[in-house]
Amino acid sequence: MGAIFYALFLLAASGFTVTLICHVASLFGIPLGLQQYLKFLFPGVFVVFLPTIFVMNRLTRDFKQKDLWRAALRGCPPWMRRAVGIIAGYSWLGFFGLPWLYGGGMNSPANRDRVMSAMLMTFYLVPAAVLYSATRVQSLDESRRCLNGHRVSPSAKFCEQCGAPVAAATKESHSYLS
């Protein structure tokens, strides 16, 4: 499964990169013609997003609903988790703000390209982050131990065997709580 996760991660990261380039170009008024790339980018979202849903269900099955995103992205470095939040917020604000900022509303092809590329960035970055997390989460979960050295489940705060608190994460590993 690791090879499939890596392949889908690379596809999602590539889609994000192309979409980011198109978005930055559209912000500066450089007409790359996002419409010509949409015939590849739009179906590509479904290619990476549908498997991501199944992977995310597997990553979050032992966690409470309120910890869904922490659980799904627990294998990601902190900068990647922050990037997902920033890009998702930017896309949401950009949906309303970019047409207003550049004028012309959604009737303008340039504004449609700006808004569409902002939304596609989120729909590629979320799968990239979740799939990256899936490639790393098994080793991180196996390294979780209590202060007495017993293995603990990914969502445990205390050891199921002895009741001791879970040891703090080392610098090499990332806890899902950080």
* Tens-place pLDDT, residues 162-172: 877 777 654 44
pLDDT at 161: 75
Average pLDDT, the chain: 81
Q: What percent of the chain has pLDDT over 70?
A: 80
For 75-121, write each residue's pLDDT tens digit.
899 999 999 999 999 888 888 777 677 776 666 666 777 778 888 99
Q: CA nearest 81: which of 128, 143, 40?
A: 128
pTM comes to 0.78
The Cα–Cα gap between 121 and 93 comes to 13
The Cα–Cα gap between 82 and 114 comes to 22
